[in-house]
């Protein structure tokens, strides 16, 4: 799934649809564009766990904890920083300034 804002809608329609769903469900983007009834219908069809938000963060963490270098420049660095107090995220400025 491509998550750079403004890009998914130019990709395959399924990518655009899934991305829109994630942006609404996980990030709350476009939340006010849906009525309470519409949101409730989705939750009824696809129930959430009691700790849905924390479960998403945990799922991200479980998928990346063994490869922290892949978080450079993306939001998953935030997840590792939350779950691992000694995690040090990569710094683009340092990489750029220290490059050959």
CA 39 to chain CA centroid, Å, is 20
62-77 tens-digit pLDDT: 999 999 999 998 889 9
Residue 9 predicted with pLDDT over 80: no
CA–CA separation, 49 and 93 (whole Å): 39
Select from 94, 95, 71, 92 the least CA-distant residue to 82: 71
22-60 tens-digit pLDDT: 888 888 888 999 999 999 999 999 999 999 999 999 999
pTM of the model: 0.73
- pLDDT higher for 81 or 19? 81
């Amino acid at each position: 799934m491509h998550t750079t804002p403004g890009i998914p809608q130019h990709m395959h329609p399924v990518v655009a649809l899934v991305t829109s769903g994630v942006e609404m469900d996980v990030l709350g983007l476009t939340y006010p564009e849906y009525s309470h009834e519409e949101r409730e219908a989705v939750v009824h069809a696809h129930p959430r766990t009691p700790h849905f938000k924390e479960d998403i963060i945990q799922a991200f963490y479980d998928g990346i904890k063994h490869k922290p270098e892949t978080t450079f420049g993306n939001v998953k660095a935030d997840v590792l920083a939350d779950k691992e107090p000694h995690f040090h995220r990569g710094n683009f400025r340092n990489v750029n300034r220290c490059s050959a």
